[in-house]
Structure formats: structure tokens, C-alpha cells
A = this chain, B = another copy of it.
Amino acid sequence: MKIALIGAFGHQGYVVNGVREMPDCEITAVAVGEKGEDVSKLIPGIKGIKGTEPRVYEDWREMLDKEKPFAVGVSPMYCNHQKISVECLKRGIHVMCEKPVAMNMDELAELKEVYGKSDAEFVGMHAMRYQANFRAAHDAVKAGLIGRPILMNSQKSYAFSLQRPQFYKERSKFGGTICWVAVHALDWTYWVMGGFKSIYAAHSRIGNMGYGDCESSGVIAFTFSDGGQGCINFDFLKASTDKIAQDRCRIAGEKGVIEVYDKRAFIVTHDAELRELELKPEESFFKAFIKSIKGEGDCLLNAEDTFEVTRLALLARDSADKDILIKT
């Protein structure tokens, strides 16, 4: 099956690594997301797979129409995510798209509408569901190990540097730190706890290394439709010398607490002392996505999840921009 890539920002690695594991897949083409984008850094990785030499296109529409790929990894400058995804879906081409999949509610509505009319599948790159520690925490909650979960708080912390793309400086191109960083934590929270009832968020640009609109940090607090509440703190303030994975979550329930910390997951309950949760071998997100399309298994994330988590992120961004509480 022919797989193509559009754009070289973000996490095309998920797609490339997935193709590596699938004997019947090949990356046959790479297109720039917009004029002047350099996609050359992707080529060596692709050539490493079965010696494939992908065709490089300066026009992604031309690539779609000529190559007719089975599926596309979409990861150009973030403001182009929705437009390209829509064109793929209209052509019946399956899409795995970098987040945020829409820059505003209008884009999200159009994307949902086009998806509804398309036979193609769509999913956002909320890949942390496939990270072994978060998956173990999720599965332990669903297995009832801490009883009813009540309180869930998370941290998503990235390091910043002056090497980040220049478009991070503009909200209209980058989308904001809530939609790029905190959205991962919104996704895993939604996965574990279900829908949100109220959202309040705050963010600031202090310490953003001169990156204009780009928020350095923020917080989101929320209540869940099924009861209970949670919060997220997110930032680009991770120290450059910090060797600990700073993506964390803690889920406190009626019978105990589960924590994800530094690539591991732990549980402590009223009945049993602290122990580490066993992690399953990590699976490829893209491979699971393709297999689910072929009816050979389930993917941990689908289009509806992607749309809802994107909506939550856009609501949180709006709450933070306006300093208002939003009932969802």
C-alpha cells in the first residue's frame, strides 16, 4: 500500500516507524506543506525502509492526485493541518494528522462535516495513548484497580529553545501552546475520565525567549460530566539539562492512586503498598491505525475522540484568552 507524507514538522516519525513494521506498506511520496518548506530531512529515514526512494512533490494536491496514496501522514506548518486533511478526506484518502487538527471551531466543524461524508478514516497524532506508561495507567483504571476515579491531574512539559520553528511566534500559524502541548494531557484525561462539563484555563508568555504569541506555560481546570474534577499544568519551561521525562499524570480514586512518572507507572491502594504497573511492549500507533482501517484490530484513538479533544483544547484556549469559565 502506498503511504505518503505531507510536511516535515512535528511527528512524521510515527508514520515512518509504522511503515517500517508493515511489509505491505511503502512511503512512495513526500510533499512540502507549502512553498519553500524543506522536507529533505525526512528522506534518509524513508530510504532506510526497503531502499525506497520517495518522489518529492512541491505541490501536495498534485501529489495526492498523481500518487493516489492509501493513507497520508499530515504534518506541515500547523495552520495547514485542517486544509490538507480536508482535501485528503474528500479524495477518500485516510489521514493521520499532527495536532491541532483544526485552528478554530469553524475549521473543526468543516473537518467533521467532510469526514462524515468521506469513506476515509481520520485520526490526530495524540500518540500518548500508545505510550506504554499512560496505556498501563488507563488500563488499570478501566480494570477497576482504584475503584471509581475521581481526581485526575497531569503535567505536560516540553523544553523550549531558539531552534523551534519561527512560526511558533504567530498564533495564526502555531495555534497556541494549549493546542500544541496541553492537548496531549487533555486527550489522555478524556480517555480515562470521559467528557468535560466546565473548563477554565490560564496561560502566559513570560519567559518565551522572544517567541511573540507563543505561551510559555499555563493551567487548565475542569469538571467531568460523570463527576469529579481535574487539572493540567503545561509548559515549555523544562530545563535543558533535565533528564527526567516530565509528562506525568495522577489519578486518585475511591480505592487508591495511580501515577505515571518518568516513563513508568505506579499504583498504591488502601489494600496494597506501592508497586509498579507492568508495561506492555509499545505498539506502533500508525500501524494500529492502518490495521483498524483494514478491519484487523482496534485503534486506541478514533476520529470522534480527535474531534472532541480538539474541541476541548479550543475551548480551553478561548477560556485562557478571555479569562472566562466555559461550560461545555
Interface residues of A (CB under 8 A from B): 147-148, 150-151, 153, 155, 157, 198, 200-204, 206-207, 216-223, 227-233, 235, 237-244, 250, 252-254, 256-257, 268-274, 323-325, 327
Contact = CB atoms under 8 A, between A and B. Distances in A.
A163 to B, nearest CB: 14
A203 B229 CA distance: 7
12 contacts: A150-B206, A151-B219, A151-B233, A151-B237, A217-B228, A223-B323, A231-B233, A233-B250, A235-B252, A239-B270, A241-B274, A244-B274
Interface SS majority for chain A: strand
Contacts of A204: 150, 223, 227-229
A217 B223 CA distance: 12
Contacts of A200: 200, 221, 325
Nearest to A154: B233
A257 B323 CA distance: 26
A256 to B, nearest CB: 5
A179 B1 CA distance: 60
Given A153-B219, A153-B233, A243-B273, 7 more contacts: A150-B216, A151-B235, A153-B155, A203-B229, A219-B221, A241-B270, A242-B274
Contacts of A273: 241-243
B227 A219 contact: no
Which 10 pairs show the lowest CB-CB distances between chains A and B? A221-B221, A200-B200, A207-B254, A202-B229, A237-B252, A325-B325, A151-B217, A219-B231, A153-B233, A239-B268
A96 B222 CA distance: 35
A201 B221 contact: yes
A270 B240 contact: yes
B239 A207 contact: no
A235 B229 CA distance: 11
A324 B325 contact: yes
